[in-house]
Chain A
Amino acid sequence: MTYIRKPSFQHPQLETNELGLTRRDYEGTLTTLCGGCGHDSISAAIIQAAAEMSLEPNRIAKLSGIGCSSKIPSYFLGKAHAFNAVHGRMPSVATGANLANKELYYLGISGDGDSASIGLGQFCHIVRRRINMLYIVANNGTYGLTKGQLSATADLGSKTKSGEESLYDNIDLASLAIELGASFVARSFSGDKKQLVPLIQAGLSHKGFAFIDVVSPCVTFNNTDLSTHGYKNTWENNAALSQVDFVPMREEITTRYAEGEEKDITLHDGSVIHLHKIGNNYDPFHKEKAMMHINQHKAEGRIATGLLYINQKTSDLHDLTNTVDRPFNVLGEQELSPGNSTLMEINEAFR
């Protein structure tokens, strides 16, 4: 970690967004993670994504559990709302918060321990319940905070710095999310912001449960040549299915690509995901093909990254449970407790 604060001097031509804020205004406190930790790059990607989208910090809620990953909400969007839940229980808190106020952007930050081990049950249920949020897992295949044991996402045969070899197959959270009904599933790499930033922007704009599994190397405990979650292996085997551009709803699409090479996906809020296909003819709308692709790549020792799956037709929890239009937290006492006569009417309906 670093002990001095980041100097406040900034590039004189640093762009300001529609709110008059620069990227620097979206920073948080000084990171306490190891220098070179992938998680810091995820923070930087979130900062860039939010600044470019001109998101109002007070309209974002950051939620996390426990672990190196779950510390990072301190390091970005210092002026946003935040809740640091107990280990693996961020999904419950996110569900509650989203029920109370559906008008915020919910950004869940978790890690492989928090979501694939202690919180695996909670993870499955929040996917299933289709909470409208972006859930990011900073996945390093190791328990960095307890000094480098293998985690449940470590690939079979991968070795940690101390030489411990993973004897079990890994839990692939992206496949699990697709399986359980997530409507936006992506995978990316902390080192590749060109890909990660537009995916975060698209995930925030997507209505429904969006999930990004980010390979985020633990530079201290899991960055050897024998680790499948290290920088070297990830750079070498990063197989992008498509190149992703995100166009916020306010901007006109000016670049046009050759027919058949590209696909525009218009999101719920009017913004557009622009996919350039690379090599293969990947179809991100097909659940089974997505799973197949992930598995094929894995068998080849490669990591399928990019937008893996998207389904814009699904509903979120509020649609499914038919909640009122106004968020619960702004309803008054009269509306929340309409009195004895209304209760009598309801009771009457059951007779």
Chain B
Amino acid sequence: MKPTDITNPEYFHKVVDCQWACPAHTPVPEYIRLIAEKRYTDAYMVNWHSNVFPGILGRTCDRPCEPACRRGRVEEQPVAICRLKRVAADFKEDIKDRLPVVPADKNGKHIALIGAGPASLTVARDLLPLGYEITLFERDAVSGGAMRTQIPRFRLPVEVLEEELNYILGMGVNSRFGEEITSMKSLLNENYDSVFVGTGAPLGKHLDLPGYSEVQDRIHTGIEWLANVAFEHIQAIGKRVIVLGGGNTAMDCCRTSKRLGGETVTVAVRSGFDEMKASPWEIEDAIAEDIPILNFHVPKRYLVEEGRLVGMEFEKVRKELDENGRRMLVPTGEEPVIIPCDDVICAIGQENSFPWIERDIGIEFDRWELPVLDENTFQSTHEKVFFGGDAALGPDNIITAVAHGHDAALSIHLFCQNQEVTERITPLTSLVSQKMGIHQWSYDNDISNDVRYAVPHAAKEKTLKDINMEVELGFDPELAFGETMRCLNCDVQTVFTDQLCIECDACVDICPTDCISFTDNGTEAELRSRLTAPADNESQDLYISGALQTTRVMAKNEDLCLHCGLCAERCPTNAWDMRKFLYNTAKAVNA
């Protein structure tokens, strides 16, 4: 293998598994260390710059960082990254003086943002400090988009939501709320310099089974129903509720039903538990509220008596694989299952919908009715029009919408400055030694053996009675500190200088997880098979040095490195050094 090029910023970025997995590439270990130091405000700002909504995401994020967390590869559970983010938001001080300054003199460019959800708000936040004039259209009377309409208040209190929305709205957005855009053509005629579409995936799917037309008023579409609950248009539901679907929306629907008068709430899922799309913790929270989840139940018809919905019939199925290995749901042949109910909520998916974008104005759509986009720039086939969030690539999550927003804001900025939109700027990185003394590092390298701390919950008796009462209480500072100590500081990189190495083996001997080998060079596949310990995880790189005195090379398996720095502590020549790698994605402000 060739020596690893550690000057390529993506090499060390990939070692920081959480940050690499985060769509917005938030420098996770950096803010976790700040929390450990009780510098909550600083930790919050690291988040705010990267993911814009730390308080909201600290409660609601899909947390792609956690399955990626290295800790999960050396023990059972990853670090509770998401809930630590909430800690930064909960305990921070006033941040208003830390917000970017918005110039009074505008740069003369005027951008229209459609839909006041996370994607548009991120674009606004990135462009306002650069002097852009921003007009934000929203069909609802208030901002927030899915963060307001799709996430129940018992998971995200309204104060937390509005605080973070207001940081952006307070930067000087022209709010045009309660104003639905019905024609892109006429909007484009208003001569905005650029238009950003962040209208989400607003169309819920319903299930048109026999009986549907007779009792349509008792059959609800998940996302619409949740929005109506959020705006208090709906304040009650029948005593017996069936929720169809296995995603996070279904989990929110069933838990909301419990709080609106649903006494017997049942979730029915077509597939097996292991195929449910909902996050495991959301499923756990639903089960903890005594909501049964029935899997392998395929809905067949709505049962109607005297014009009234009385129940639903399901066919029981099992999973089989066809000859191509594709999953099939095959009826078990058992008696159909009848579940009595007063209401059914269909949370079986949502779709994009752009009836307001004329198809003859240069914005092309693909066969799934999604806009044709450059996935790096988010520019549509109309050079002035950019998309982001669920509106761009289909339904996903908040943090992805934020990431799109950053990228689109950069594109809009480049476009408005007459620069090439496809010429992206490189990330901002630094690599700095953390050595403070002979055996002293600026980070805590003594690895905690603690298992993951559970976030305390409020008593079920109380939370089920009050739809606005937050269930999760969040970590207190002490629990948070314990959890921060579980972080392995993967951003503090093991940097090897081959010219300094005397091949004493001290690092090999001390490494607790057998990451380091000194061996003859070879192909990657061959090296992986003959290192000190197996290196089977091919998604993780091997760090290869140049040839040493003996012509051997140092080969480090990045997979299981604990970043404990003992290799560097034992190294007599400083051939190993622990250097903190800070990686920030380039945003519009850096262009």
Contacts and interface: CB of A to CB of B under 8 A. Distances in A.
B309 interface: no
B46 to A, nearest CB: 26
B188 interface: no
Interface in A1-34: 1-14, 24, 34
B445 A4 contact: yes
Contacts of B572: 34-36, 219-220, 223
Contact of A41 (B504, B512, B569): B504
A6 B447 CA distance: 9
Could you say which interface size class chain B belongs to? 20 to 34
A218 to B, nearest CB: 10
B564 interface: yes
Contacts of A65: none
B183 to A, nearest CB: 59
Nearest to A15: B533
Interface string A181-193: 0000000001101
Contacts of B560: 11-12
B509 A10 contact: no
A232 interface: yes
Nearest to B510: A6
B536 interface: yes
A36 B569 CA distance: 10
Contact of A223 (B502, B513, B534, B571): B502
Contacts of B449: 7-9
Given A36-B502, A36-B570, A41 B509 contact: yes
Given A6-B510, A10-B512, A10-B513, A35 B570 contact: yes
Interface residues of A, number: 35
B566 interface: yes
A43 B445 CA distance: 24
Nearest to B574: A35
A47 to B, nearest CB: 9
B367 to A, nearest CB: 45
A41 B506 contact: yes
Most chain A Cβ neighbours within 10 Å, of B74, B504, B564, B566: B504
B549 interface: yes
Interface string B556-584: 00001010101001111100000000000
A39 to B, nearest CB: 10
A43 B533 contact: no
Interface of B: 73-75, 439, 445-447, 449, 502-506, 508-510, 512-514, 533-534, 536, 549-550, 560, 562, 564, 566, 569-573
28 contacts: A2-B439, A3-B439, A4-B564, A7-B447, A7-B512, A7-B513, A7-B562, A9-B75, A9-B447, A9-B449, A10-B513, A11-B514, A11-B534, A11-B560, A13-B534, A14-B514, A14-B533, A34-B572, A35-B571, A36-B504, A40-B506, A40-B509, A43-B509, A191-B504, A220-B572, A231-B502, A231-B503, A236-B549
Given A1-B439, A2-B570, A9-B447, 5 more contacts: A4-B445, A7-B447, A13-B533, A14-B533, A41-B506
* 6 pairs of A and B residues whose beta carbons are closest in the complex: A36-B572, A35-B570, A44-B509, A7-B447, A231-B502, A4-B446
